[in-house]
Structure 1
Amino acid sequence: DSPHEYNILLLDTLQSVVYSKVNYSVRSCFGRLSFTAVQDMDLKHREVAQWLQEVYGKEQVPPYEKTECTINILYQLMTASKCSEKNAKVLASDYALKASEYSAEGRQLREWLEHVKIKENILSPEGQKGLKALYSTTQVLDVQIPTSTNIILAMNQLEMDYMQVMNEREHEKRQTACLLETNRDFSRKLKEIQGIFQQAEATWAQQQEEHAKDVVQETFIKEKCKNYSTDINQYEAKLNQVAMSKNIKHSTLVKQSLELQSLEKQVNNLESKLNNYTLPPDIMLAEVKVQEARQELANLMDKLTRSCK
């Protein structure tokens, strides 16, 4: 049934329901409505009146009782009718789309049959089914009819693909050359690093040998220092035994050496004088001379001893 006939049927049902109501109960119910409810009811009444006018068009709208219950029932019918009309429009649009798709599929099948010189009415159901499967496959694979235009377009596409492949190949060549150059650079640097590493190992081995020699030399020097310390202690002990002062300097030794030489010279002179000296005849006088010479020699020896100290 069409939506218009469905609405007419709803209105007839509405009339039978409305006239079966008790007017007094409806008016009583309507009289107890609040102001907000009255405004809402007035809005619903206007929507219902507009909908009835759209449904009947040029025909006169049948009379109905304008009560709360009646308007609510009509409003519910209006809502259900609009929902049904909306669903019917969607369904009709879907059917129209399906019809256009089926029509396009039929035209495509006829064109295929015309190209292969086959009439549709001579195919068996299995053949038609296979033809439809073939059509679906061509749609998936996007197979085109081999016309001159399609061939030219395909050749152009192949040329474009070829140019793209060649560009990618050139790009790969450049990248490969760059990678090879980088690899050679890395190999050269690796060899340099290996040479530096070998040189460092040789230097380290040489330093280890020198360090071992230094350790031996250090041990020898420590031993010599120990020996020198022992000798110094021994010499200091000897100096202490002879009451030698520690503050002896080279200049002092030189001075004392000169004094010693002078004293030795004087002693030698005295000895030569004594050897050449002739004692007097008087024995007493001779003893006096000898004592004087001895005293002078003792004084010189005492000076010599003090100079040595």
Structure 2
Amino acid sequence: MTGRRRERSGFNAAQSAKRWRLGWRRSSDGKGRGTFKTKQSSIKKIALIQCALNDDWAGSLGRFKITLWLKRTFGDQPIPQYEVNSRTVDILYELMECNETRDRDVSLVIDDMKQKTAEYESEVNYLQDLLMESVNLSFNSLSSAGTSYLNALVDSAMALETKDTSLASFIPAINDLTSDLHATESRNREMELELTSLRKKLTAALVLEKHLQEDLKKTEEHLAMEKAKADSRTQNMKFLKDKSEDFKFRIKAAEEQLSASGMDPSLTHQSLVSLSEKLTDLKQQTVPLKKKLESYLDLTPNPSLARVKIEEAKRELNALEAEFSSKVDMMALSVPEPSKRRFT
């Protein structure tokens, strides 16, 4: 931007230095006693001063042009306030140049349109004169139907963007329009097919969404039921666990009391269970013996020997009953009432 300002200003530091050199030569004596170094230093100083003057003058000229352009742009309205510095001046100057370039282009377009309008008017006048001279026909002499037909012809030509109303211009334009119509109809059919397919897919998606929502609702209900069951089972499990702990504590306390009272270990529950299992095994072992014994039941027994066996069996049975009764009595006497612990 500074370079352009220097070119617009019309000042040139080199030319000023040249003029100064010519004046210096005239003022010096004929023998040229001034030294080269002194002259070169003076030229540099003058060039620097001139460049500074050129920049100031160019900046003032640019701001003046910008002010005039803003006044033309806003007219009677006040110009908005803006900060005046090198950046804003450069931006406004570039904007002014772009605006002026656009205005020139618009002016050229307007002039071209005016020229074309004049050419068309001249051609219209020529054709009107030709019609009057040839067939004595003018626009005013047409009937209302003829005028409407002519207007329709003109409107058709303008809609089809033909250069004139001749048949040679109308046929290609109509053919192009027909081709565009067929292409548009084809695209419309394709879009309708695609729209139908999308509608089917949308319907299927909506049905699927409805089924999924129903399944989700059922799943949530089932989950709620299962959760309630799980909570109930958890509570029952906790209750059973606490109850089991209480039973273990009570069993342990009873065992300690029985051990302290000197109870026979053979009378414990575990021992009785073991004896019951052994008894079951013995009964199973006696089954084949009983079957074998059935074959000897038909034989006549020895009465005296049988009586002896019966008496021995009775004595053994009485002894076992007495022993069992005594052990039961001892167990009843040795087992006190169990201490009860409150269950929580």
TM range (shorter): 0.3 to 0.5
TM-score (norm 1): 0.38
Name the larger-Rg structure.
1
